[in-house]
Amino acid sequence: MKKSGNIILGIDPGTIVMGFAVIEVTGNNPTLTTMDVLKLAGKKDIYERLETIHTTVCQIIKEYKPHTFAIEAPFFGKNVQSMLKLGRAQGVAIAAAMQYKLNVTEYSPKKVKQSITGNGNADKEQVWKMLQRILNIQEQPEHFDATDALAVALCHHYQSSSAIGALPKGLKGWEDFIAKNPGRIKI
């Protein structure tokens, strides 16, 4: 019987195109399970788009049974209306994850890029090239929204498995850890 690893669902929210990706981490080895996009441009009504996002995220969760859910935070731009729409899409995707009792973690675009490439200002092509190397992916995606979602999922793996990023359970912060473990400080 194959022991399954940690399954992470990553989402790049959008009201025109939403990217999603699922990775499975066994030991410390991430592998791509699926990555694709949901195209919403054909639906004129924003509420119909939001309902489609919710339904699709629920279907992905039912099919792949992720343990955790990671989503990219909206990038603050100049267009307030676009930000509101993106925030709604993100909220609907998060609500679907919460409906299935998944832990939700949100990452800024800069944090995702930094985690994957080491450069928080990397462009989408640089992020994709690094993802190809890390996960040994050959095929070229049709949409960078899918690769952005993959980057979010992999970022979550890195952040949750990092000795620096993961704080021991029951602690409020690193100051709390130091206060409760003074013998572990070496000067």
Element (H, E) at 25: strand 17-26
Nearest CA to 7 out of 74, 92, 100, 89 is that of 100
The catalytic site residues sit at 12, 72, 145
Strands 6-12 and 29-39: unpaired
Q: Point out which residues pair with 12 in neighbouring strands.
A: 19
Q: CA angle 181-160-157, nearest 5°?
A: 155
Q: Is 148 annotated as a binding residue?
A: no
72 among annotated binding-site residues: yes
Helix (H, G, I), strand (E, B) or coil at 162: coil
Residue 12 among known ligand-binding residues: yes
Residue 157: enclosing H or E segment and its boundaries?
helix 144-161
Give the 3-state secondary structure of 28-86. CEEEEEEEEEEECCCCCCHHHHHHHHHHHHHHHHHHHCCCEEEEECCCCCCCHHHHHHH
Annotated binding site for Mg(2+): 12, 72, 145
Annotated binding site: 12, 72, 145
